[in-house]
Amino acid sequence: MIDVPFHAGERAMQLQAGSREVMAAAGSRVIRDFMPDQHRDFFALLPFLVTGSIDAQGQPWASMLAAPAGFAHSPDPTHLRIDALPAAGDPLAASLRDGATLGLLGIQPHTRRRNRMNGTVEALDAAGFTLEVQQSFGNCPKYIQAREPAYRPPASAPAAAQWLDGLDDAARALIRRADTLFVASAHPASAAIEGDEVDASARGVDVSHRGGRPGFVRVDDIGGGVLTVPDFTGNRFFNTFGNLLAYPRAGLLFVDFDSGEMLHVAATAEIVIDGPELASFEGAERLLRLRVQQVLRRPGALPLRWGAAQLSPFLARMGQWAESSHRSG
């Protein structure tokens, strides 16, 4: 049992949103230090996992591992074995080592099921790695777009990865049509507040999902690029936003579901809790402002093909960005 599962940043966000009292009572019940059988069985069904890691410079990165279903399996409630390794050029490859903390998101888009597990690498070998569970919990499925993935072994090696100092035209176009975004965040030891008696399991890396109508991520042509993402009502845990409040660095992942391209973005983060921009986006409770620092494009890197997308019905009540809200400079 995890007695104090939320660190000071998460608790501050819960307080601001009015969910602190509920989370104080429920947190230790819903965030576990083991995986229930339902979660263990669920991970074994998936042909991909979303990963969150943090590199030697303290930058979080979001990525994906894909393989035939069954590559992730749980030998016991406190461990998850992953029979896959990141490809060369994947940001995860530089961070994957014994003792590393990782965040995992298991998501089945066509059923809108998802579960999260944060853990520590206990063993690493030539075939994969084993994670020891730190935190295991279910997650809000409201804004998942239903599209069914199928694993397709690559016929040839993907094109070389490309590092960019900011967003180019192709990156902007991919982000502007995206209906899905994955966000890696972290709460490393350097972000800990003296006197915060949070359980050690709350420190590490986390990765989460964000969904919206195509165009829900606003792209402003300022510097290397500035992204603004509306945040809708969810499970009120505030794992991602709590991390970003305490440690404002994020790793973003955008996927081209047609070509298999993955676009990884390193950014600094700012949380916007009031103001005219927030008021202009119906349904948004806060905004996440992300200033792009670095971009990695990996063409054809994801060996999955996807069925047609069905947007979440919860998005019908959410607004969109007005054309006049876009900025340049």
Average pLDDT of the segment spanning 199-216: 88
| Per-residue pLDDT at 17 | 81
37 backbone dihedrals φ, ψ, rounded to 5°: -55, -35
pLDDT in tens, 158-189: 889 999 999 999 999 999 999 999 999 999 88
Domain extent, residue 169, equals 8-147+159-302
What's the token pair of residue 273?
A: 């809790």
213 within a domain of the structure (yes/no): yes
pLDDT in tens, 96-111: 999 999 999 999 999 9
13 within a domain of the structure (yes/no): yes
324 within a domain of the structure (yes/no): no
Q: What is the mean pLDDT of the chain?
A: 91
pLDDT class for 279, splitting at 50, 70, 90? Answer: confident
| Per-residue pLDDT at 325 | 59
> What's 31's domain CATH number?
2.30.110.10
Cα–Cα dist 95/91, whole Å? 7
Is 191 a residue whose pLDDT tops 80?
Answer: yes
How many domains does the chain contain in total? 1
Average pLDDT of the segment spanning 123-128: 98
pTM: 0.94
- What is the per-residue DSSP string for 159-215? PPPEEESS--HHHHHHHHH-SEEEEEEEE-GGGPPTT----GGGSEEEEEEEE-STT
pLDDT class for 22, splitting at 50, 70, 90? Answer: confident
Between the alpha carbon of residue 60 and those of residues 92, 266, 268, the distances in Å are 10, 7, 10
| Per-residue pLDDT at 189 | 84
pLDDT class for 4, splitting at 50, 70, 90? Answer: confident
pLDDT in tens, 248-272: 999 999 999 999 999 999 999 999 9
| Per-residue pLDDT at 201 | 66
327 within a domain of the structure (yes/no): no
168 within a domain of the structure (yes/no): yes
12 within a domain of the structure (yes/no): yes
The arrangement of strands across the sheet holding 79-82 comes to 60-66, 48-54, 101-108, 113-125, 128-138, 79-82, 72-76
199 within a domain of the structure (yes/no): yes
28 within a domain of the structure (yes/no): yes
| Per-residue pLDDT at 328 | 59
* CA angle in degrees (0–180, nearest 5) for 146-309-297: 100
Cα–Cα dist 220/253, whole Å? 18
Give the chain's largest Cα–Cα span.
54
